[in-house]
Amino acid sequence: MKATSIAQLLQQEPSLVEITARGWVRAFRSNRFIALNDGSTLHNIQCVVDFENFEEETLKNITVGAAIEVKGTLVESQGKGQRVEIQVSEVEVLGTADPEDVKLTILSPKRHSLEKLREQAHLRVRTNTFGAIMRVRSKLSFAIHEYFQKNGFYYMHTPIITGSDAEGAGEMFKVTNLDLKKTPLNEDGAINYKEDFFEKETNLTVSGQLEAETYAMGLGKVYTFGPTFRAENSNTSRHLAEFWMIEPEVAFNDLADNMDLAEDFIKYVVNYALENCADDLEFLENRLLQEEKSKPQAERSEMALRDKLKFVLENNFKRVSYTEAIEILKNSKPNKKKKFKYLIEEWGADLQSEHERFLVEKHFKSPVILFDYPAKIKAFYMRLNDDGKTVRAMDVLFPGIGEIVGGSQREERYDVLKEKMETMGIPEEELYWYLDLRKFGTCVHSGFGLGFERLVLFVTGMGNIRDVIPYPRTPGNASF
């Protein structure tokens, strides 16, 4: 008989029709009440067994972590906390879980640290916390696709292995098929990449933007959603060496359109999570409350998780130029009292995380979009403003997260772009195709990148980016 998912069973009315459920035992108390979970939902279904009717051997094997199948009928629950439960007529243990072995793992029913869970990342998804995070992650992914598809965007897969390193000089992973023990060299001592698989030097992509631009010039509105990589030695709770990024790119959009798109998009996906992950978000909200109880009052969140998400929906993102932001920061208390690690002294300074968080969390108390940054601290492809010193860049800053989106209007003028590439030492022969876009029917266009894991961090209220991706890759760690 086909099994019914626990998510579905919990929605059904009591009935005499026999049903089958399969899942993993989360608890078995009084030799009578099994809490069964199959991952379809946070909630367990209670299965009531009349122990006198079952073999002792079977009952003995119903232990935490075991996979079982139960048949029975759905009856009104006598206990509290659930509407229905299964009155079990048959139970079969499909796969045991030796309690002595379970004791050594995070499956054992007690509190485990997030560090410990990370070490057993292949099992952590069986916990309530990680089940919830990963269901939310999945729903957010779908919301992203749904948003763009509903709005006339085409999804494109930009290459992962790339022959150009225009953007990521020094921070890229090399991809090679060469024998590393005896790398072939040319007469001049350089590596002979002609012998490599692609017959040239290749790396893992840091962004699909440039290729996305080529498609926006044909399909109008496109987006990417794929993995990107940074070989940056940052061992922080905000950085991963491998992470997923969403990059929309839209022909004819200027910077204001780009900001509108980013705001509308983020609100759509956050709202989608609130509507489609109610149980999981409630659980994560309580988890966060518990976690914060051990922190000093000043470090606790001012809002509960779902209130914070609703706050984002209900408020306009504050749009502030870089120049205004510098003024605010220069005159701010932490700057005057020298509380910032990097003091803001003059226009042109690169903003640090501490400054962004001050603007978002203390000054504006809302998500902020900073725009029109100094050209000097931004990438070559950003549209130069008429003032000659700022570019049409924008960053969306979120409370607790910092930069969640970085984007810009792109330089659409052939001569200006070419000159900038020369100045910045970007070889034209490598990006001739990118310049071509400015030669054949160029137009104003814009786009941005959203780091998916940062969005998941924000929505789940987790504190460490390693806890919102199944198998995190960080310096010194590529386990599983």
Q: Counting Cβ atoms within 10 Å, is residue 435 exposed (0-12), middle (13-18) or buried (19+)?
A: middle
Residue 19 binds a second copy (CB under 8 A) = no
Q: Which is nearer to a second copy, 141 or 321 (CB)?
A: 141
- Least distance between a second copy and beta carbon 432 (Å): 9
- What are the distances in angstroms from CA 39 to CA 6, 80, 126, 278, 315? 8, 21, 8, 15, 34
Name the helix (H) or strand (E) containing 91.
Answer: strand 84-95
Q: How far apart are CA 405 and CA 127, in angstroms?
A: 31
Q: Which is nearer to a second copy, 3 or 304 (CB)?
A: 3
DSSP code of residue 282: H
Q: Which is nearer to a second copy, 189 or 296 (CB)?
A: 189
| Residues in 343-402 that interact with a second copy by CB under 8 A | none
Q: How far apart are CA 448 and CA 216, in angstroms?
A: 13
Which of these ranges, 74-82, 138-146, 262-270, 360-368, lies near a second copy under the rule CB under 8 A? 138-146
- Least distance between a second copy and beta carbon 18 (Å): 17
Instruction: Name the one residue in this structure whose structure tokens are 């897969």.
Output: 157
Binding mask of the shown chain, residues 29 to 58, with x at each position contacting a second copy by CB under 8 A: ---------xxx------------------
Which of 34, 65, 263, 351: binder of a second copy (CB under 8 A)? 65
The site for a second copy, by CB under 8 A, has a size of 108
Q: Which is nearer to a second copy, 181 or 338 (CB)?
A: 181
Output the CA angle 19-25-28, nearest 5 degrees: 100
Strand pairing partners for 157? none
Which of 12, 115, 116, 159: binder of a second copy (CB under 8 A)? 159
- Least distance between a second copy and beta carbon 197 (Å): 6
Binding mask of the shown chain, residues 98 to 137, with x at each position contacting a second copy by CB under 8 A: x--xx--x-x--------------xx-xx---xx--xx-x
Q: Cβ of 94: how many Cβ atoms within 10 Å?
A: 12
| Residues in 171-190 that interact with a second copy by CB under 8 A | 173-178, 180-181, 183, 185, 189-190
| Residues in 207-246 that interact with a second copy by CB under 8 A | 211, 214-215, 217-221, 226-227, 229, 231, 233, 241-242, 244
Q: Cβ of 436: how many Cβ atoms within 10 Å?
A: 13
Which of 44, 162, 209, 366: binder of a second copy (CB under 8 A)? 162
Q: How far apart are CA 312 and CA 270, in angstroms?
A: 8
Two structure tokens written together for 266 = 């983020």
- Least distance between a second copy and beta carbon 301 (Å): 27
Q: Which is nearer to a second copy, 203 or 332 (CB)?
A: 203
Q: Which is nearer to a second copy, 25 or 459 (CB)?
A: 25
| Residues in 304-333 that interact with a second copy by CB under 8 A | none
Which of 10, 19, 24, 461: binder of a second copy (CB under 8 A)? 24
CB proximity list for 273: less than 8 A, separation 6 or greater: 136, 139, 140, 143, 281, 309, 459
- Least distance between a second copy and beta carbon 477 (Å): 6
464: left (phi over 0), alpha (psi -120 to 50) or beta: beta
Which of 437, 457, 459, 462: binder of a second copy (CB under 8 A)? 437
Half-sphere exposure of 28 (CA within 13 A, CB side): 20
Which of these ranges, 76-84, 196-204, 282-290, 394-402, lies near a second copy under the rule CB under 8 A? 196-204
Q: Which is nearer to a second copy, 142 or 347 (CB)?
A: 142
449, 247 contact by CB (below 8 A): yes
User: What does R_g of the chain's alpha carbons equal in angstroms?
Assistant: 27
Name the helix (H) or strand (E) containing 133.
Answer: helix 128-150
85, 45 contact by CB (below 8 A): yes
158, 212 contact by CB (below 8 A): yes
Q: How far apart are CA 465 and CA 459, in angstroms?
A: 12
- Least distance between a second copy and beta carbon 314 (Å): 25
Q: Which is nearer to a second copy, 50 or 275 (CB)?
A: 275
The helix/strand/coil state of 171 is: coil
- Least distance between a second copy and beta carbon 270 (Å): 18
Which of these ranges, 28-36, 326-334, 360-368, 440-448, lies near a second copy under the rule CB under 8 A? 440-448
- Which of 12, 4, 61 is closest to 38 using CA atoms? 4
| Residues in 252-281 that interact with a second copy by CB under 8 A | 252
- Least distance between a second copy and beta carbon 149 (Å): 5
222, 249 contact by CB (below 8 A): yes
